[in-house]
Amino acid sequence: MPRAPEIESMRGASDWGTAVLPDHFKGAGQRGWSIENRSHPAGLGSIASMFEIEVNHQFSAAHQVSVGGVMEELHGHDWRVTAVLAGPRLDGEDLLLDFHALESSLKAAVEPFSGRTMNGVPPFDRVHPTAERLAEHVGSVLGSVVPEGSRLVSVSVQEAPGCIARWIPTDPGS
């Protein structure tokens, strides 16, 4: 019996000679990435590797937006913000970045809005407080915690089930 559910999902994942990368890694070299081909530390052969971590945080806040030229009523959401970070190298502790460090930065990025009306809180006192702009704002804040050689892949904001906006930086240095 597997000790954890993820063990079951690992069946057939022992072919270390083949790297299967998500679509957003395809053509990585064209965007200034270097995907290393190196020996696995456990002696499992040579692998091409890219690592990705993801953290999310949920908070409640209200906003009022204009859609189609009509100003909606003030309303609230339980926002769920997700940040994805990727890179080819791990640090001395075999981490891309400590989950808690990224999670702490994510929480700090949205803390000014938590329990408030976003329209009155910078930058949304000047910028339309849409899910897209919230994702962009969080991405700009998180850029400072990205380790050298890694990048912020995306920031997603879910304002309601099935309603997700995603910000994806196009600059390889982001």
Domain that holds residue 157: 50-174
Query: Do 8 and 66 share a domain, yes or no?
Result: no
Cα end-to-end distance, the chain, whole Å: 43
Query: Please, which residues have CB within 8 angstroms of residue 33's CB and are 6 or more apart in sequence?
Result: 25, 50, 88, 151, 172
pLDDT at position 148: 86
Phi-psi region of 35 (alpha: psi -120 to 50; beta: other; left: phi over 0): beta
What value does the mean pLDDT take over residues 22-39? Answer: 47
CATH number at residue 83: 3.30.479.10
Residues present in the chain in total: 174
Q: What domain count does the chain have? A: 2
- The kind and range of the H/E element at 83 are strand 75-87
Average pLDDT of 43-66? 85
With 0-12 CB in 10 A as exposed, 13-18 as middle and 19+ as buried, what is 59?
middle
The yes-or-no verdict on residue 16 having pLDDT over 70 is no
Q: How confident is the model at residue 9 (pLDDT cuts 50, 70, 90)?
A: very low
Hey, which residues does 46 pair with through a beta bridge? 39
Residues 43 and 54 in one domain: no
Q: Is 148 found in the same domain as 81?
A: yes
Give the Cα separation of 136 and 156 in Å (integer): 9
pLDDT at position 46, please?
Answer: 52
Q: Is 37 in the same domain as 61?
A: no
pTM of the full structure: 0.72
Task: Tell me what the mean pLDDT of segment 119-147 comes to.
Answer: 95
- pLDDT at 87 (0 to 100): 93
